[in-house]
């Protein structure tokens, strides 16, 4: 065999080994983070809010929680779900990518880990990991689920943005919307109320908008931290939910989309279907 072929084969084997090592390290890191979240969620007691303690809630919130969250489902420790749909990183560009994702959430510990696989080109994908763990929001992008190409986390903007996401997605785990020392409701009118969630030194608020079927139709904030053109800005953000059904006794949406406002116009950046795959109760 000619020397140049031997050298080429050696280089290919070396690169393949390095790639597999990087891929394995990423997979182990994800699994370890998920196991840690599960262990914390199982250790944290989940107080079951008595029905009478809900009576002081704003009327649309009370109607929603009574409809969406029966007393038997209030001790939710963990929820896992799958997502699929389309996303884009820039609300002003029409460059959508197909994605699939899995998410693990600890409603009581205010934590989540979201792992998505987005197709960026034929045979090329990136793995996107977003998380909120112990009050710290972070994100990472890895080419082919192996090679990190971007990461951020631990600053005020990421922590706040991740907490906003956790609060918005509580429509899939509404036990996190029960009143508590961390979660407060403020009435607006008969179809709207503001939820304020505090996690450590960070507090965020979202306006919840309820429809006549006692469902959360949308959420809105005039300012959520996001990364735009290389820097962080607070921009108006809205999520919309639809096609509800009952899963393990909990009334949850099967579809949703979220997006940012630019020049007064709403531009979605994520739209997809969400299917809870397991719920673990106290």
* Residue 24 confidence (pLDDT): 78
Q: How far apart are CA 224 and CA 202, in angstroms?
A: 13
CA separation (Å) from 77 to 13, 110, 218, 278?
Answer: 45, 11, 25, 11
3-state class (DSSP) for residue 219 = strand
User: Please, is 86 exposed, middle or buried when counting C-beta atoms within 10 Å of its C-beta (0-12, 13-18, 19+)?
Assistant: middle
* 87 φ, ψ (degrees, to nearest 5): -145, 160
Non-local CB neighbours of 5 within 8 Å, separated by 6+ positions: none
Nearest to 182 by CA among 126, 117, 107, 272: 107
* Residue 165 confidence (pLDDT): 97
Q: How far apart are CA 159 and CA 139, in angstroms?
A: 10
Q: How far apart are CA 80 and CA 103, in angstroms?
A: 6
- Helix ranges (H only) for 127-192 are 156-168
- How many CA atoms, within 13 angstroms, populate the side-chain half-sphere of residue 212? 0
* Residue 49 confidence (pLDDT): 59
pLDDT in tens, the chain (282 residues): 665 554 555 555 565 566 577 667 777 888 899 999 999 999 877 666 555 578 889 999 999 999 999 988 888 999 999 999 999 988 888 889 999 999 999 999 999 999 999 988 888 888 899 999 999 999 998 887 777 778 788 899 999 999 999 999 999 999 999 999 999 999 999 999 999 999 999 999 999 999 999 999 999 999 999 988 878 999 999 999 999 999 999 999 999 999 999 989 999 999 999 999 999 998
Host H or E run for residue 55: none
DSSP 230: T
3-state class (DSSP) for residue 239 = strand
* Residue 177 confidence (pLDDT): 96
pLDDT digits (tens, 9 = 90+) for 119-137: 888 888 888 999 999 999 9
List the domain range (segments joined by +) for residue 176. Answer: 3-281
* Residue 105 confidence (pLDDT): 97
How many domains, the chain?
1
């Amino acid at each position: 065999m000619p020397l140049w072929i031997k050298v080429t084969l050696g280089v290919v084997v070396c690169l393949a080994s390095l790639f597999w090592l990087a891929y394995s390290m990423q997979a182990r890191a994800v699994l370890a983070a998920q196991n840690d979240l599960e262990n914390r969620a199982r250790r944290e007691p989940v107080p079951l809010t008595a029905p009478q303690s809900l009576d002081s809630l704003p009327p649309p919130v009370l109607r929603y929680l009574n409809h969406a969250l029966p007393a038997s489902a209030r001790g939710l420790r963990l929820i896992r779900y799958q997502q699929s749909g389309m996303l884009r990183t820039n609300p002003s560009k029409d460059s959508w990518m197909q994605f699939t994702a899995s998410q693990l959430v600890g409603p009581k510990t205010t934590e989540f880990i979201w792992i998505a696989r987005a197709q960026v080109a034929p045979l090329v994908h990136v793995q996107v990991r977003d998380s909120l763990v112990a009050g710290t929001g972070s994100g990472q992008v890895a080419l082919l689920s192996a090679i990190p190409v971007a990461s951020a986390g631990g600053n005020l903007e990421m922590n706040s943005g991740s907490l906003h996401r956790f609060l918005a997605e509580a429509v899939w785990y509404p036990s996190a919307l029960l009143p508590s020392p961390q979660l407060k409701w403020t009435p607006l009118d008969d179809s709207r109320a503001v939820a304020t969630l505090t996690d450590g030194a960070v507090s965020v608020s979202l306006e919840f908008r309820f429809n006549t079927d006692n469902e959360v139709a949308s959420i809105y904030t005039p300012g959520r931290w996001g990364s735009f053109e290389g820097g962080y800005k607070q921009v108006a953000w809205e999520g919309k939910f639809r096609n509800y059904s009952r899963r393990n006794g909990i009334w949850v949406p099967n579809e949703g989309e979220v997006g940012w406002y630019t020049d007064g116009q709403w531009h979605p950046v994520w739209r997809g279907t969400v299917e809870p795959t397991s719920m673990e109760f106290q």
